[in-house]
Amino acid sequence: MNNPTWDLLIIIFAIVAVVFGVAMGRERSMVSVIASYLGLVVANFWGNAVYALLGGQSTAQVGSAVAFSATASPFFIKAGIFIIIIVLLIIKGDFLKRAITSHAGIGSIVTSAVYSALNAGLIIMALTSFLGDSQRTSLLEQSKIINMITQYQTWLVVLPVAIMIFLGFRDKDEIQ
């Protein structure tokens, strides 16, 4: 019997992301896509600096009696920054409310599903980019889906923005 691969986890994550995105609605789905972009950029720029600042280790002391330390990898530092930024922007992502008009109906549900699916790919792409070369190579050998996401990563970055621009022009025409 074959053991489950990373592909199973990725498929489950994508399904949960699409269902969650549809439940959140179009506005929050777009906020989550933008949050993923921002998280990716900030984590890639700050991750190595934070890792160097910590010297590769994290140490904390509680009072004068208890102290603990843990070794952190650049992946975990970057992933932590990425996740914190996404969560904060999704929770406090009201900055797009003026830029996006509310829509109802099947078109809004489909748009939310498309944004959420692209967002799931962006998140997987970002987390994969935080891995070291040998870890990433090993993961690419184990997962056909991650390999496909890596192969089409340019589309994952460009397509949400293109859809936002297209829908922005279309929405303007519908209002007038």
d(CA 37, CA 11): 21
pTM over 0.85: no
pLDDT tens digits in sequence order for the chain, 176 residues long: 567 788 888 899 899 989 988 888 877 787 788 888 888 888 887 888 788 887 765 554 545 555 545 567 888 888 998 998 888 877 765 555 544 545 567 777 888 888 889 989 999 998 998 899 999 999 999 999 999 998 888 788 778 867 776 776 664 444 44
**Nearest by Cα to 73 from 121, 124, 134:** 134
Question: Does a structural domain hold residue 1?
Answer: no
Question: Does a structural domain hold residue 112?
Answer: yes
d(CA 122, CA 170): 25
Question: Does a structural domain hold residue 3?
Answer: no
Question: Does a structural domain hold residue 6?
Answer: no
What is the total count of domains within the chain? 1
End-to-end CA distance of the chain, in Å? 60
For residue 67, what are the domain limits? 14-175
| Amino acid in position 100 | I
